[in-house]
Structure formats: C-alpha cells, structure tokens
C-alpha cells in the first residue's frame, strides 16, 4: 500500500500564508507587501510552493498572477485552516463595536436591500462610528467569494450543499402573484384568488436564471417547476413593479416587498395558485469564521434585525 501522507515536519507552514496572499492579491509585489516580505523572498516562497504542490500554482499574465485549477482547488481548505489557526491563538478574543474599525459586506438580492438594509445600517451606526457595510448582488461566484472570505455573509433563498458553509434561517417570506389593477382578464373580487390555469395562461416577468434549467422562483420553491410564458426579464424584484403596473404581465414577489411599494403603483396581489409554505431566508457564512468574534457579533446583529422585520409575512387581507 502506498502511503500518501505528507510529513508536516518537512513542510514550512509559513508558505501557506504566502499562498493565501498570492490568491488574494494576484500580484507578487502586493502579496509580498501584504505579509511583510520582500519581493525576492516572495518569489522564493512561490518556488517552494510549486515544489511542495508539484504544480505551477500561478501563471503570469498581463492581468496578473492567475491561479491554476490546482491552486483554486486547494485554496478553500488552506484559507479555512489559516483562519482556524488564527482564532485558536486568540481563543478569548472579545469584540467591542464601539471601538472597532470594521467594514462588513453582504451578498444579497434587491429584496434584502429594500427591506432590511436601512434598519441594519442604522443598527451599525448606533453600535459604533467605525463600522460600515457594503452590499453586492448575487452572482455565480458568490459562494466562492464567501469561502475566500472576500465577503462576510450571503443572504439568499437557496442553501448551498457545502460542508464549508454554515447556514441559519433568519426568517421566511410568503410569495404573492401581482398584476395591475386594471388587468382585463383578472376580475377584482373580495378574495384575491387565482387559479393555476389563469396563472399559466398569462405572460410573466422573470428574474435572471440561477441555472440553465431553473428560474429563481423554481429554485426558491425547492425545484417545483411551473411552465410560465416569459414576456420580460428584469434584474431585481423592485423592477418588476413598474413593468407589471404598465402591462398585462404577472410577476411573483415577496409579500413584504409588495406591501412596501403597493401605494406607489397601481397593482394588486393574489395568493400563489399552489399550496406552498413560506420560503425560508438563509444567512450563509464561511465555516472557518464561525468563532471569529467580530463576525459572530455581525451575524447576531443581522439576526436581531431580521427578528424585527423578516419574520413570516402576515399578508394583508388574508
């Protein structure tokens, strides 16, 4: 039997910090500056890394140092290991938001920005003058960015299947169908009901696909598919509202978002024409940051804000 175990005594673990800096910076000089090495020392570290991993790891291009597939493959566990080592060396770390200088980042869709961003930023402002927050839209590389710790959190309706990602439900949301008030084929009644036949007969406003096969609606509904007619595609939920108000198209949006904007547009809502539970909203973070004091405080703050405003929606008129 071949023994594939590596003798850690023969490996300089300081090389992992050099590897991490190169992955983050994509530039030899900036990576050296990041960890306090000279450029020749960083070049030497890169050569030793290549010998250790039996791979080129980084390829020089006009765009910078591009990681090879092998480098990309090993980066997440290496980054997690470095973070765990760092947190272990400071086991009793405390975080004081009133004295901290910290910029947090959240990847989320337009719903989170519309409903929760204001209260969350107000909470940060009250907690400490050195705290700030930036948000980014959901993208195909969002989970990769989370694992590289380029962002602190993702808030999404979809939970990824990854042992490297921690997940927590921070609330849930009911989905509504919306149409303009003067829609010629949907009569106004005391009960906002819509049959599946009526729903599928109309044209719809879509959000961008989350995969080649499913829309964001199908993803949010756990894979249930509805053969809707695509009439238009917009970038986010709030863009659906003026499109629906000006056309005969239908759209599906979170209930809380509808009630936030219902007075601004001549639209009405219907119950979704299928028996569905409220959609859970997940807060996701890199497992390696589980015990980081600053990150833990931020997660608790997001959860506290969500407890106030993103609990299961109480749909008016139901």
Domain CATH code at residue 77 = 1.10.10.10
Specify the pLDDT at position 74. 87
Residues 287 and 139 reside in one and the same domain: yes
Q: Residue 202: which domain range?
A: 175-271
Residues 139 and 212 reside in one and the same domain: no
Chain centroid to CA 149: how far? 12
Residues 143 and 286 reside in one and the same domain: yes
Task: Give the residue from 89, 122, 144 where a domain finishes.
Answer: 89
94 falls within a domain: no
96 falls within a domain: no
Q: How far apart are CA 192 and CA 248, in angstroms?
A: 17
CATH code: domain of residue 229 = 3.40.190.10
Q: Which of 63-67, 160-164, 211-215, 288-292 is predicted with the least confidence, judged by mean pLDDT?
A: 211-215
Arithmetic mean of pLDDT, 242-271: 93
pLDDT at 252 over 60: yes
Residues 299 and 164 reside in one and the same domain: yes
pLDDT one-digit tens code per residue, 131-165: 999 999 888 888 888 888 889 999 998 888 888 89
Q: How far apart are CA 35 and CA 298, in angstroms?
A: 26
With helix as H, strand as E and coil as C, how does 184-231 read? CCCCCCCCCCCCHHHHHHCEEEECCCCCCCCCHHHHHCCCCCCCCEEE
Arithmetic mean of pLDDT, 244-252: 95
Residues 164 and 291 reside in one and the same domain: yes
79 falls within a domain: yes
Residues 44 and 184 reside in one and the same domain: no
Task: Give the residue from 64, 89, 114 where a domain finishes.
Answer: 89
Q: Answer for the pair 203, 229: CB distance below 8 angstroms, yes or no.
A: yes
Mean pLDDT value across the chain: 85
Residues 183 and 244 reside in one and the same domain: yes
**3-class DSSP state for residue 172?**
strand
Number of domains in the chain: 3
Residues 24 and 162 reside in one and the same domain: no
Residues 195 and 249 reside in one and the same domain: yes
Which residues, in sequence order, are CB contacts of 164 under 8 Å at separation 6+? 76, 77, 80, 147, 286, 287, 288
Residues 35 and 167 reside in one and the same domain: no
Residues 113 and 237 reside in one and the same domain: no
Please state, in angstroms and as integers, the Cα–Cα distance from residue 140 to each residue in 23, 145, 210, following that order: 19, 10, 8
95 falls within a domain: no
Which tokens in the block code for residue 67? 């990681």
pLDDT over 70 percentage in the chain: 85
Burial class (CB in 10 A: 0-12, 13-18, 19+), 126: exposed
* Dihedral sign computed on CA atoms, order 84, 33, 107, 70: negative
3 falls within a domain: no
254 falls within a domain: yes
315 falls within a domain: no
Band of pLDDT at residue 298, cut at 50, 70 and 90: very high
Specify the pLDDT at position 309. 82
Specify the pLDDT at position 141. 84
3-class SS shares of the chain: helix, strand, coil, % to 5: 40, 20, 35
4 falls within a domain: no
Residues 113 and 233 reside in one and the same domain: no
pLDDT at 91 over 60: no
Specify the pLDDT at position 314. 45
Task: Give the residue from 37, 65, 89 where a domain finishes.
Answer: 89
């Amino acid at each position: 039997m071949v023994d594939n175990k590596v003798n850690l005594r023969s490996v300089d673990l300081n090389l992992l910090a050099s590897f991490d800096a190169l992955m983050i910076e994509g530039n030899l000089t900036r990576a050296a500056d990041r960890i306090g090495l000279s450029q020749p020392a960083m070049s030497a570290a890169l050569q030793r890394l290549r010998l250790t991993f039996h791979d080129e790891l980084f390829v020089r291009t006009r765009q910078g140092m591009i990681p090879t597939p092998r480098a990309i493959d090993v980066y997440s566990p290496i980054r997690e290991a470095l973070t765990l080592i760092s947190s272990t060396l400071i086991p009793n770390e405390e975080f004081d938001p009133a004295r901290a200088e910290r910029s947090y980042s959240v990847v989320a869709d337009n719903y989170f920005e519309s409903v929760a961003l204001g209260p969350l930023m107000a909470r940060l402002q009250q907690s400490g003058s050195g705290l700030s927050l930036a948000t980014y839209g959901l993208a195909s590389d969002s989970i990769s960015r989370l694992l590289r710790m380029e962002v602190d959190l993702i808030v999404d309706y979809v939970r990824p299947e990854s042992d490297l990602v921690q997940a927590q439900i921070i609330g849930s949301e009911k989905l509504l169908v919306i149409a303009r008030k003067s829609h010629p084929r949907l009569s106004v009644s005391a009960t906002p009901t819509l049959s599946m036949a009526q729903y599928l007969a109309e044209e719809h406003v879509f959000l961008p696909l989350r995969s080649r096969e499913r829309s964001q609606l199908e993803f949010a509904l756990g894979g249930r598919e509805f053969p809707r007619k695509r009439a238009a595609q917009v970038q986010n939920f709030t863009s659906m509202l003026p499109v629906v108000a000006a056309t005969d198209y239908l759209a599906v949006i979170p209930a809380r978002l509808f009630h936030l904007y219902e007075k601004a547009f001549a639209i009405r809502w219907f119950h979704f024409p299928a028996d569905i539970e409220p959609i859970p909203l997940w807060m996701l973070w890199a497992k390696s940051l589980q015990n980081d004091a600053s990150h833990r405080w931020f997660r608790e703050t997001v959860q506290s804000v969500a407890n106030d405003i993103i609990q299961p929606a109480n749909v008016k008129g139901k």
